Amino acid sequence: MVHDGYVALMPSIALRDLVAPGHTALLIQEVQNSVVGADSALPALAQAAKEVGVFDNLRPLAVAARALGVPVIHATAENLPGGFGSNHNARLFAGARKAGADNAAGSEAVQPVAAVGVAEGDIVYPRYHGLSPLTGAQLDSLLRNAGITTLVVTGVSLNIAIPNVVFDAVNRSYQVVVVTDAVAGVPVEYGRAVVANTLYLLATLVTTKELLDTWG
């Protein structure tokens, strides 16, 4: 199957079964004000998200997921008071601080962007270190306790965080579905290359329309 320039892996089970409510969660990675919002500390990434249509595609996906009882999880990047325990071991973290990404817990910076929004019943899951909500945190155990075996991954960025969460999920034996027009990286063409040359080996690739049709 080919769509949007990607060759999608055909899963061993039908897509409808793969993303069926009851064992599927929608993970929205770092779609928060300080990352892709109007006052983003990473304006190039915010522009890439708009160019790809991440917000426009995430909004109906979240609505459909909620209607079916599929958990909607907003995975946010936040900092503890004084930046306690935050990473200092990569250029990314230094660059984010230099750009003014304070990400104080509870601040407007860490709130999911209004274009997608948080509805009653959504889960906002903060990450205080590292690059993935599945590393050194409770999310993996919470998902397993909820009977989740498939993660639908969306958000930013295809440069680092999205591949990291896909790798982590696969290593933890989840089925992973990546919504190709609800993820973005910088430059946009590079993000698409990551999907086409790396993530397609690990995840089932779908478009927003394909997933909405399946959930319809």
pLDDT for 174-185, tens place per residue?
A: 999 999 999 999
Q: Is the pLDDT of residue 78 over 80?
A: yes
pLDDT greater than 50 at residue 58 = yes
Q: Is the pLDDT of residue 147 over 50?
A: yes
Q: Give the CATH number of the domain where residue 58 resides.
A: 3.40.50.850
pLDDT at 1: 46
pLDDT at 11 over 60: no
DSSP letter assigned to residue 113: P
Distance CA 127, CA 131 (A): 8
Q: What is the mean pLDDT of residues 121-137?
A: 91
Task: Tell me how far apart the terminal alpha carbons of the chain are, to the nearest angstrom.
Answer: 20
Looking at the structure of the chain, the number of domains it has is 1
Across the range 11-23, mean pLDDT stands at 90
**pLDDT at site 100:** 64
* pLDDT of 2 strictly over 50: no
pLDDT for 4 equals: 57
Mean pLDDT of the region 76-87: 81
Structural domain that includes position 117: 2-215
Locate 89 and state its tokens: 């071991």
Report which of 158, 187, 190 is spatially closest to residue 44, judged by C-alpha positions.
187
Q: What percent of the chain has pLDDT over 90?
A: 75
